Amino acid sequence: MIVVTGAAGFIGSCMVSKLNQENFKDIILVDDFSRDDKNKNLEGKMYSEKVHRDDFFEWLEKNESLVQFIFHLGARTDTSEFDKEIFDKLNLNYSKKMWNACIDYGIPLLYASSAATYGLGELGYEDTHEVVDKLAPLNPYGDSKNDFDKWALAQERQPYFWAGIKFFNVYGPNEYHKSRMASVVYHTFKQVGETGAMKLFRSHNPEFKDGMQLRDFVYVKDVVSVLYFFLHHRKDSGLYNLGTGNARAFLDLAKATFKGMDVKEDISFIDTPIDIRDKYQYFTQANMSKLKGIGYDKSFHTLEEGVADYVGSYLLKDTYY
């Protein structure tokens, strides 16, 4: 039996699909399941039971002997949310409770951290434990993820295996519900479908030309492949980056989307919204040597390959992974 929290969300639902593909069907889905648009991510998936996140620890107490692994992917991920109490409740304190339960019951734990912990990248993008206390995230979401990473590293008691995964810019199917927080691929597809054109955020940093802000974009199918690797690896506990190791421009992402849609490029620029402008990452790039060093040797989709698959196999067909 495998538990996936955040199961109705973007990465969580893709993880359930990956597990199904690998013939795992005894899966416990944990979420709040209150949004119909998110629940569509789970249609056609094979699983044993849905458990509301508020009821999960009571459920776990009764069923812990059956649980083989927990993928704790549930979190509040809105980077424009500034209510610290929400993040403390859902990202920090819930994760602490999960950590301690996994110790008590002897269950391996993989949890979602984030590249948002790196802030402006002043200290680089190395997933070494020594740098965690010095990082300066740009928003309460990033703070909540880094606060838990710091807490976890400080614990004398730890699950016998644990991994905190620092997701970089993940894109791909099953993000229809994410609205403002969806990837630029999704927003480009929507805008082009509605207007025939795409408006990207203008650069407000003289070191970067418009559209040349650089991020490490990683396709969700590669993400769940890495997470699945840890299901069987179960050693080398610690924090791990999860990107491609190759930063690409937002302009490249938009152009690849136009190509996937077979539509002539029409790209212009608008000002970055004030509420996120001074919290904006202009460059991220994962150092992936740590993951490779423990034996993960599968190649990642290039940006062009990932966007082509996402647009052609999912967005144009309005289907789910």
* Of 94, 111, 141, 310, catalytic: 141
On the question of pLDDT at 81 being above 70, the answer is: no
Whether 219 is catalytic: no
Dist. CA 166–CA 175, nearest whole Å: 19
Dist. CA 16–CA 27, nearest whole Å: 8
- How sure is the predictor about 84, in pLDDT bands with cuts at 50, 70 and 90? low
Q: Who wins on pLDDT, 141 or 223? A: 223
On the question of pLDDT at 294 being above 90, the answer is: yes
- The single residue listed with the structure tokens 């924090």 is 239
On the question of pLDDT at 296 being above 70, the answer is: yes
Average pLDDT over residues 118-127: 95
* Of 178, 190, 199, 259, catalytic: 178
CB distance 164 to 24 below 8 Å? no
CB distance 91 to 148 below 8 Å? yes
Quote the percentage of the chain above a pLDDT of 90: 86
Average pLDDT over residues 79-104: 78
Out of 55-59, 106-110, 151-155, 273-277, which region has the weakest mean confidence (pLDDT)? 273-277
On the question of pLDDT at 255 being above 70, the answer is: yes
pLDDT score recorded for residue 21: 98
Whether 141 is catalytic: yes
Dist. CA 319–CA 134, nearest whole Å: 42
Q: How far apart are the first and last CA of the chain?
A: 21
Domains of the chain: 2-171+216-245+286-301 (3.40.50.720)
- How sure is the predictor about 180, in pLDDT bands with cuts at 50, 70 and 90? confident
pLDDT score recorded for residue 87: 67
Average pLDDT over residues 206-234: 97
pTM of the complete model: 0.95
